[in-house]
């Protein structure tokens, strides 16, 4: 499954704009991400949000990732 990577996270995955990870939920995606790219662990603390088909998920790691969904890793941001 193609996972698009944006912002500072690219540095943690060797500069790639997208990586390949199979995952059925956000939790699985995060676990495999850290396993494969250990440098992403510090970003996890700062917060990584996941956009699935354009919807941004900040905390709901149980969220399932449908087959064929567009998945984008983004910084976890707040409003005001």
- Residue closer to another protein by CB (options 28, 63) is 63
3-state secondary structure labels for all residues of the chain: CEEEECCCHHHHCCCCCEEECCCCEHHHHHHHHHHHCHHHHHHHHHCEEEEECCEEECCCCCCECCCCCCEEEEECCCCC
- Residue closer to another protein by CB (options 34, 57) is 57
Binding interface with another protein (CB under 8 A): 4, 6-8, 10-11, 17, 45-46, 51, 53-60, 63, 70, 72, 74-75, 77-80
* CB of 1 vs another protein, minimal distance in Å: 15
* CB of 2 vs another protein, minimal distance in Å: 13
């Amino acid at each position: 499954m193609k996972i698009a990577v944006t912002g500072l996270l690219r540095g943690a995955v060797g500069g790639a704009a997208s990586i390949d990870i199979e995952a059925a939920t956000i939790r699985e995606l995060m676990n495999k991400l850290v396993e494969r790219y250990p440098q992403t662990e510090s970003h996890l603390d700062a917060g990584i949000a996941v956009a699935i088909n354009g919807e941004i998920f900040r905390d709901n790691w149980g969220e399932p990732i449908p087959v064929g969904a567009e998945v984008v890793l983004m910084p976890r941001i707040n409003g005001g």
